[in-house]
Amino acid sequence: MSRIGNKPITIPEGIMVTISPLNEVVVKGKLGELSLIIKKPISVSHEKSTIIVKRPDDKKDSREKHGLYRALIYNMVEGVSKGYKKELELEGVGYRASNKGQQLELNLGYSHNIIFEICPEVKVETISEKGKNPIINLFSHDKQLIGLVSAKIRSFRKVEPYKGKGVKFVGEQIRRKAGKTAG
């Protein structure tokens, strides 16, 4: 039995959940609106202030989707009520970040600046203080989308293991390697 799939999802106040006959779950809240189409054989029911995800049998496909869809719906409810935040840190000499609206400009040691247009569902903010590494803050109600955007920003300059230079999450521990030793 899936422990995660069996847990009911409590809906906070101010959040509206609608389930269409075609198994489309739409969650609306103060931060936005998200929708998800639930594929067969999983069924979703809405009772008072809870959402229950059910599976008809114990086949492998049903067991896999049961916990997955419950987690996705839970992330949607959390996203429209509280939202998600990711913080990225640029570590390296001369690495800079600035934004003009939804356009993020990164200077990561290449011969040119990287200009990255961020979708309107994700809000971006950059913080540059003297003596500290620049920080990029991302805010969104969609957990999948904010993860995708942060992964794309990280891919511009991955953290290298010798000096630890690159784009990383705030608080992330980088596995370091020892350099060459004089023989």
Domain spans in the chain, listed from the N-terminal domain onward = 3-81, 84-169
Nearest in space to 118 (alpha carbons), one of 134, 101, 131, 143? 101
Q: What are the pLDDT digits (tens) for 6-41?
A: 889 999 998 999 999 888 999 999 999 999 999 888
Residues above pLDDT 90, as percent of the chain: 66
Fold of 3-81: Outer Surface Protein A; domain 3 (3.90.930)
Residue 170 to residue 168: CA distance in whole angstroms: 6
Residue 34 confidence (pLDDT): 93
Partners of residue 104 on adjacent β-strands: 99, 116
Q: CA dihedral in degrees (36, 39, 40, 46; nearest 10)?
A: -10
Q: How confident is the model at residue 179 (pLDDT cuts 50, 70, 90)?
A: confident
Q: What pTM value is reported for the model?
A: 0.87
Would you say the CATH fold of 84-169 matches that of 3-81? Answer: yes
Q: Residues 6 or more apart from 167 whose CB is under 8 A from it?
A: 88, 89, 90, 91, 108, 153, 154, 156, 157, 158, 159
Has domain 84-169 been given CATH number 3.40.950.10? no
Give tens-digit pLDDT for 80-99: 999 999 999 999 898 999 99
Within 10 Å of residue 172's Cβ, how many Cβ atoms?
Answer: 11
